Amino acid sequence: MRALSYLDRLEAEAIDVMREVVAQAERPVLLYSIGKDSSVLLHLARKAFFPGKLPFPLLHVDTTWKFRDMYAFRDEIAGSDDLELLVYINQEGVMQGIGPFSHGSAVHTDVMKTEALKQALDRYGFDAAIGGARRDEERSRAKERIFSFRSKGHRWDPKNQRPELWRLYNARKQQGESMRVFPLSNWTELDVWHYVHREAIPIVPLYFAQERPVVEREGQLILVDDERMPLAPGEQPVMARVRFRTLGCYPLSGAVESDAQTVPEIIREMLTSSVSERQGRVIDRDSEGSMEKKKREGYF
Amino acid sequence: MEAYLREREHKELLRFITCGSVDDGKSTLIGRLLYESGKLFDDQLEALESDSRRIGTQGGELDFALLLDGLSAEREQGITIDVAYRYFSTERRNFIVADTPGHEQYTRNMVTGASTADCALVLVDARKGVVTQTRRHTFIVSALGIRHAAFVVTKLDLVDYEETPFREIERRCREIAAGLGLDVTCIPVSGLRGDNVVERSASMPWYDGPSLMEYLESVEVDGTRMQRKPFRLPVQWVNRPDLDFRGFAGTIASGTVRAGDRVGIYPGGIESSVSRIVTYDGDLDTAVAGQAVTLVLSDEIDVSRGDVIAETGAPPEVADSFEATIVWMDEKPMLRGRTYLMRAGTRTVGATIAPLKYKLNLESLEHVAATHLDLNEIGVCAIELSEPIAFDPYTENRDTGGFILVDRITNQTVGAGLLRFALRRSQNVHWQALDVDKSARAASKQQRPCVLWFTGLSGAGKSTIANLVERRLHTLGCHTYLLDGDNVRHGLNKDLGFTDEDRVENIRRVAEVAKLMVDAGLIVIVAFISPFASERRMARALLAEGEFIEVHVDTPLALAEERDPKGLYRKARAGELKNFTGIDSPYEAPEHPEIRLETAALTAEQSAQAVVEFLESRGMLP
C-alpha cells in the first residue's frame, strides 16, 4: 500500500472541485487567460470529464493588449474539437481607446479586465466561473475560499465568507448571485511548474528564455511586442535573453533575464530565485491592499 | 533536476492548523516559520520591512504577523479574521498551514481550518496561561478527528525564558487533553526571537523536547490510513457523453477498488460490479482513497449524484435519523424543529433538528441542557432527514460522516456536523401504506383539499377573516376545519411558550396536523401568527404542489396595535409580555404569498370574499 503522491493529491482535489462545479452550477465557465495556470486548468478539466467533452465553455476576456504569442497559442487551443472558446472584449473600452500606455495600468485593468469580465459573465449568464488563482500568490488570496461567493454585481465580501469544511462546497445561491471557483487554491507556483513538467502540458513559448527586444522602464524589462508601444525620444529596444514568469498585458508584464529553455530549467531558476512571481506584475503595486480592493470589485 | 522532482513529488504532506486565543502570537509564529524555511522572496521581505515600519507593532522590527493578516481590516486592527492558508516545505515534507483566528466570534473559521488538518498547534501565551479558547480549540480539534496536537507556549522571551510557568501550563494542557484522546507535545517558543522554532534554543537549556520544526517534520502522517478502510465512493456526477458510455465520477473517500469488485449502490442497496475504472490516463486495475476516478458498472442500474458506491462486504449504514454533534456557525440561532438543508457527501436532503440532548459548556466541557444553539456553540442533538442516506460514523470517515447545514432561504452554510450513530426508531418505524388514499377521500367530498395558511401580526384580523371564510365555505357544502393559534395552544401545544424555538415547534406541529387533515380530504384553515419565513416554507414543503395557499393578512403594526383586541400590545409595551411579535420578536413578512389582504383598505367581509374567490378560480370548490 502506497500513499498518493503530493501532486496526485493536488490533481485529485482540483478534479473533485471541477466536477462539483458542474454538478452544482447551472451555467459554469472556465476563465481562460492563456497563461500556465490556465493551461493546467484546461488539462485538469479534460481529466475530470474524460471521456466526455468539456461540459462548459472557455472564456477569454481579451484586453486587446496581450502578447502576440499568446494570441497564437489561444487560437490553436480554440481549434481543439473537445471544447468551445469564447472571446469577450469590452467594446466600450475599445471605442474610448482605453489602453495601458494612454490611461495607465489602473484604468486599463479596471475597464478592460474587471469591467469586461463582469460584462461577459452577465452577457452569457454564467453563474460559476472557474479561475486559476492560487492562495500563495498574494495575501488576500490566501484568505479566499475554493468556492467563493459573489453577490449581485459580482462583489466579494471577505469578512462574510461561507465556512468551507472538508470537501463540502456550498454553491447554492439566488438568481443573479454567482460563484468564483479556484481548483488550484492549494497549489504553489512550484507545484504548477512541477505538474506542467510531469504532464508535459503545452504552454506559451514566452515562458522560455529567448532573445527578445526589450526596453527598461521603472525597473521593469518591457517587451516591445508590437507597434503600439510608444518609445521615448532616444529610447532604443535592446535584445536581451529574457522570459516571463507571469503573462498578462505585454506593457504590464515585466520580463526577467534568464537562460531557462525547458521546464526543469525554469524550476531550477525558481529554486534559486529571490523574487516572487507577482513582482513582475505592474498592477499589484498600485496601492496598499490593491489586490483585495480589486477583488472586492469583481476582479478575478 | 529530475531526481529532485521525483523526490519532491513523493514528499509527505502535512496539513496543520494553528489556533489559540487572540494575541497568542499565531501569525507571528507562522511568519517566523515561513521566514526561517526560506519561503520569503526578497520583494516580499522588502514589503514586510516597509509595512513593519509603517503599521508594525514591533517598534520597527520585522512584524511577521503582517505577512499573514492579508485583509485590510486585519492589518488595520492587528487581528486575524479569517483562515489564511500558507504553503512551505522543507527537505522532508510539504506543509499546508491554516492559520485560524483566535477571537471567539470567529470560531467557525477555526472549525473550517480544522476540518482538513492532520495536526494542530494550539498556542498558549506564556504570560496568560490556559484560557477558555485553549479548552474550546482543543476540544474542537479532537472532535474533528485530529489526533496529534502540540501546545505551543509562546512569548517565552517575555517571561525571561523561565521553566516554571511553562511547566505549569504544560501540566494544565495535558489535563485538558487527557480526556480527549489526543497525542500531545508541549513546546516552549518565542516566535519573535525564533527560540525553538527551527533550532533548539540556547536560552532554554531546561527544555529537551523537539523544536517546533522538528515536531512538524516528525509528527506521524498516515498517508494510507483511509486506504485501509472499506471502499466508499460518493457519486459526484454522472458522466454520459454518449449512449455508449455511462460512468459515475467521484473521489474515493476510503478503501480500494479493483475492476471486477462487487459493489452496492446505497442507500438503495442494489448490487452490481465494477467493470472499468476510467481515467484520462487510461483505465486502472486498482484505485485508492483520494483518487478522483470514473467507475463503469456492469449492469444498467439507476445511479445518481448523492448515491454512495461501496463494497458489499462492509456496506455503509443507511438511516434517516441520527444523533449528531453540531457546531453552529450562524448569527441566527439553531432552533429545535427547524428544517435545514443537509449536505452529507454529495447528497442534499432536508434535515429537521429534534430536541437537543445537550450543549457543551466550553469552559468546563460539561453537558448543559439547551433548547437552541447560538453562534459558535457546540451541541449534540437528534436530526431527522427527509429521506434515508448512506453514512459512516464521523470517527470512521470524515467524508461520509461529516455534514454541513445550509439555510434554505439565505443559502448560507449555518452549521457543521459530525454523524455519531443512527437512531433506532428510524429503523423500526415504517410507513404503513393504506388502501384508501387522499384522492379517494377528497373525491367523496367533491372538493380539492388544501391549506389556507393565514399569517400576520397579532390583531391583524387573521381569526376574524378565517372564521368568515370557513362560514362561507361551509355554506357552499365544503368540508373544512379551522386550526386557530390560540385554540391549539390550549390543547396540543399547551406545553409550548413563546421563545423562538417554541414558536418553531408550535408551527411544526400545526403543519403536521394540517397535513393529516389535507390527507383526510379537508380544506384546512390555519390562523397562526407564524412569524418566521423558514417554518412557513417548511409547512409548504410538507404539502403537494398547489395545496399550500399562503394568505398574508397584511396590517401595519401601528394599526394592529391601535386595534389591540386582546390588550396584548399594551402589556408587551409595558414589558409585562416578553417575546411579543412585532415588539421584541421579529415578524418576517411573506415575499410572495398566494393572497395578500391589506386590511387597512378592506373590511373583514371583503377579505373573506377575496379568499373564497381565489379558491373558486383555482377550481378547489365543489
Whether B39 shows a pLDDT value over 60: the answer reads no
What region, left, alpha or beta, does residue A67 occupy, with left being phi > 0 and alpha being psi -120 to 50 degrees? beta
Angle at Cα B479 formed by Cα B474 and Cα B481, nearest 5°?
90
In a domain, B238, yes or no: yes
What region, left, alpha or beta, does residue B260 occupy, with left being phi > 0 and alpha being psi -120 to 50 degrees? left
Interface contacts (A, B; CB < 8 Å): 182
CATH number at residue B481: 3.40.50.300
Domains of chain B: total: 4
**Residues contacting residue A232 through CB under 8 Å, at least 6 positions apart:** none
pLDDT averaged over every residue in chain B: 86
Cα–Cα distance between A151 and A147 in angstroms, integer? Answer: 13
Four-CA torsion B427, B353, A173, B413, nearest 10 degrees: -110
Q: Can you give the pTM of this predicted structure?
A: 0.79
Cα–Cα distance between B180 and B178 in angstroms, integer? Answer: 6
Task: Choose the final residue of a domain: B370, B393, B425.
Answer: B425
Whether A281 shows a pLDDT value over 60: the answer reads no
Q: Residue ranges per domain, chain A?
A: 7-191+289-297, 204-284
In a domain, B205, yes or no: yes
Kindly state whether residues B465 and B414 are assigned to the same domain: no
Kindly state whether residues B465 and B610 are assigned to the same domain: yes
In a domain, B431, yes or no: no
pLDDT tier at B8, thresholds 50, 70, 90: confident
Q: Please report the pLDDT score of residue A143 as a whole number.
A: 78
Cα–Cα distance between B536 and B516 in angstroms, integer? Answer: 17
Q: Please report the pLDDT score of residue A285 as a whole number.
A: 46
pLDDT tier at B503, thresholds 50, 70, 90: confident
* Residues in chain A within 8 Å Cβ distance of B245: 51-52
The 3 state secondary structure assigned to B492-554 is CCCCCCCCHHHHHHHHHHHHHHHHHHHHCCCEEEEECCCCCHHHHHHHHHHCCCCCEEEEEEE
Cell numbers describing residue B107: 470560531
Average pLDDT over residues B452-479: 90
The pLDDT tens digits for A113-158 are: 999 999 999 999 999 999 999 988 876 777 788 999 888 878 888 7
Q: Please report the pLDDT score of residue A288 as a whole number.
A: 45
Determine the residue of chain A that is closest to B225 in CA distance.
Answer: A3
Look up the domain containing B123 and give its range: 2-218
What backbone torsions phi and psi does residue B6 show, to the nearest 5 degrees?
-60, -45
DSSP string, B69-135: --SHHHHHHTS--S-EEEEEE-SSEEEEEEE---SGGGHHHHHHHHTT-SEEEEEEETTT-S-HHHH
pLDDT tier at A77, thresholds 50, 70, 90: very high
Kindly state whether residues B446 and B413 are assigned to the same domain: no
> Residue B105, Cβ neighbours under 10 Å: how many?
11
Whether B535 shows a pLDDT value over 80: the answer reads yes
Hey, are the CB atoms on A198 and B398 less than 8 Å from each other? no
Kindly state whether residues B602 and B467 are assigned to the same domain: yes
* Residues in chain A within 8 Å Cβ distance of B341: 172
Percentage of chain A exceeding pLDDT 70: 90
Task: Choose the final residue of a domain: B183, B218, B253.
Answer: B218
Q: At what angle do helices B533-542 and B500-519 cross, to 10 degrees?
A: 20
Cα–Cα distance between B419 and B401 in angstroms, integer? Answer: 5
Q: What is the CATH code of the structural domain delimited by A7-191+289-297?
A: 3.40.50.620
Whether B79 shows a pLDDT value over 80: the answer reads no
CA–CA min distance B445, chain A (Å): 41
Average pLDDT over residues B127-148: 88
CA dist list (Å): A276 to A10, B27, B111, B405, B435: 21, 21, 31, 40, 73
Active site residue B273: no
Q: Which amino acid appears at position B249 of this protein? A: A
Task: Choose the final residue of a domain: B186, B218, B250.
Answer: B218
The pLDDT tens digits for B263-296 are: 999 998 899 999 999 999 999 999 999 999 999 9
This complex has an ipTM of: 0.89
pLDDT tier at A287, thresholds 50, 70, 90: very low
The active-site residue out of B27, B272, B530, B607 is B530
Q: Please report the pLDDT score of residue A230 as a whole number.
A: 86
* Residues in chain A within 8 Å Cβ distance of B412: 162
Q: Please report the pLDDT score of residue A158 as a whole number.
A: 75
Cα–Cα distance between A124 and A60 in angstroms, integer? Answer: 13
> Residue B365, Cβ neighbours under 10 Å: how many?
15
**Residue of B85, B290, B403 lying closest to A186 (CB–CB):** B85
CB B173 within 8 A of CB B186: yes
The pLDDT tens digits for A241-272 are: 999 998 999 988 899 999 999 999 999 888 87
The pLDDT tens digits for B146-201 are: 999 999 999 998 899 999 999 999 999 998 888 888 889 999 998 888 889 988 88
Whether A284 shows a pLDDT value over 50: the answer reads no
Whether B102 shows a pLDDT value over 80: the answer reads no
Kindly state whether residues B510 and B555 are assigned to the same domain: yes
Q: Please report the pLDDT score of residue B441 as a whole number.
A: 82
Q: Please report the pLDDT score of residue A211 as a whole number.
A: 94
CA–CA min distance A90, chain B (Å): 30
Q: Please report the pLDDT score of residue A286 as a whole number.
A: 47
Average pLDDT over residues B547-558: 92
In a domain, B432, yes or no: no
- Beta strands at B183-188 and B148-154: parallel, antiparallel or unpaired: parallel
Q: B108 CB near a chain A CB, below 8 Å?
A: yes
**Residue of B116, B294, B412 lying closest to A166 (CB–CB):** B116
The pLDDT tens digits for B53-73 are: 666 666 666 666 666 555 555
CATH number at residue B340: 2.40.30.10
**Residue of A20, A166, A273 lying closest to B402 (CB–CB):** A166
Whether B81 shows a pLDDT value over 70: the answer reads no
What letter does residue B195 receive in the DSSP assignment?
B
Determine the residue of chain A that is closest to B67 in CA distance.
Answer: A139
Helix (H, G, I), strand (E, B) or coil at B174: helix
Whether B345 shows a pLDDT value over 80: the answer reads yes
